[in-house]
Structure 1
């Protein structure tokens, strides 16, 4: 099961923050968004990755550094997963993925004539939920519910975090809200300086990693 937290900022991004966008789609929905394991090149990555950025909104250097941070979270955390019996089968690690699109291609709110901030919220909610279910990373986490998706839609001005239930025991909605609100004064608007968007998402991912490295009392997992 997923819960969602949304931080929305109305952002008018400029091309100065985009590194030569790849040709192809300008809009994505969950059906057209590529898998960063099976179709990593379509994600703008040279190898299977925790980052999927099909139109290269981030610079290659920024995407690589972010991917390194997300790999560290996976390798340096342990997921308490109670699959059966009184003991937990523990395996690493928490999967934090970054998914970026230039704009959402509306699927779930297409019948709503007004594309308000609340409608964008719901579209991002559906996008993240179904994306987490269909990607290989999501299927990997299906038994332990340890996945987190940081989703960003450039033209929609949506920065959104979606968490599965096990990750949410540490990465609560209050924690997510605090981390995102801490990031905004430092990096928003993202167009103020080149690299602000990358710095903001990297900051958020690292803060999430710090939280996910904490241990959860096993008794909490049995509730």
Structure 2
């Protein structure tokens, strides 16, 4: 595989020649020296594809209340983790229910549509990957993330005909990788995956993992539904209202405030003038 390294802000962007796979190491919140990963419910702090829990059959190990396409055994999400899980779980289910199976008769070697919705996207989150002691640079971490994501996607085998997608994120290794099946690769190109992942870094650098993953799922969902996708870098806006609406309201309120201040000044000036006229008239008498 040919790897192309691009420099962006002190962050290296890895582009794999195989369409549909991409990783961006991001500069996450600083870790304390000697900090250790947060153990999951089974006591493991780090995972391999073989030891990683299945969110369909072992959902309690994934910190989920029921079957899900999301697994977060180390609870790495920020803020209210339960709400974050619900938000991401809903986004994953929405993609599956709002897209169509992309397999055709020419794809019979991969399988056939089974009437179970469209693309299946899974989220696999960890605090840290199990690495050898000498694997401590960005290239090693990216390669490890790629192998982890591809192996886990193949092990879980959740697609109908190789149309599945798995997004893997390791917090302490500061890397996110999207692994896709051959059918899903047709929609999610390497260029698009890398651009979306790089935009999501806007949130990751602030430790806003829920927002970054939500952004990623939003863009992937739009692509998989055949919708137009705006890949303008996000501003990091987190309110439930669009930024333009808040700016418009702010401008209107500002104009109202200026008008009220102007009215108050005019009223004070008029009052002072009336008092001056009354004083002058009294002097003449």
TM-score, normalised relative to structure 1 = 0.79
Describe how 1:170-209 pairs up with structure 2 within 5 A: 170-185=187-202, 187-191=203-207, 196-209=208-221
Counterpart of 2:168 in 1: which secondary structure? strand
Which residue is 1:160 aligned to?
177
> Which is bigger in relative contact order (C-alpha 8 A, separation at least 6)?
1
Distance 1:207 1:13 in 2: 28
Which residue is 2:6 aligned to?
none
Provide structure 1 residue ranges, at least 5 long, that are not aligned to the other structure. Answer: 216-223
Which residue is 2:93 aligned to?
71
Counterpart of 2:53 in 1: which secondary structure? coil
Provide structure 2 residue ranges, at least 5 long, that are not aligned to the other structure. Answer: 1-17, 33-37, 228-285
Q: Does 1:118 align with 2:115?
A: no
Question: Which structure is larger by alpha-carbon Rg, 1 or 2?
Answer: 2
Displacement after TM superposition at 1:209 (Å) = 0.4
State whether residues 21 and 56 of structure 1, in contact with CA within 8 Å, keep that contact through their aligned partners in structure 2: no
State whether residues 13 and 154 of structure 1, in contact with CA within 8 Å, keep that contact through their aligned partners in structure 2: no
Distance 1:155 1:82, change over 3 A: same
State whether residues 26 and 201 of structure 2, in contact with CA within 8 Å, keep that contact through their aligned partners in structure 1: no
Distance 2:55 2:145 in 1: 19
State whether residues 200 and 212 of structure 2, in contact with CA within 8 Å, keep that contact through their aligned partners in structure 1: yes
Describe how 1:43-58 pairs up with structure 2 within 5 A: 43-58=62-77
RMSD of aligned residue pairs (Cα, Å): 2.6
> How many pairs does the alignment contain?
197
State whether residues 49 and 152 of structure 2, in contact with CA within 8 Å, keep that contact through their aligned partners in structure 1: yes
Which residue is 1:32 aligned to?
51
State whether residues 30 and 131 of structure 1, in contact with CA within 8 Å, keep that contact through their aligned partners in structure 2: yes
Displacement after TM superposition at 1:49 (Å) = 0.4
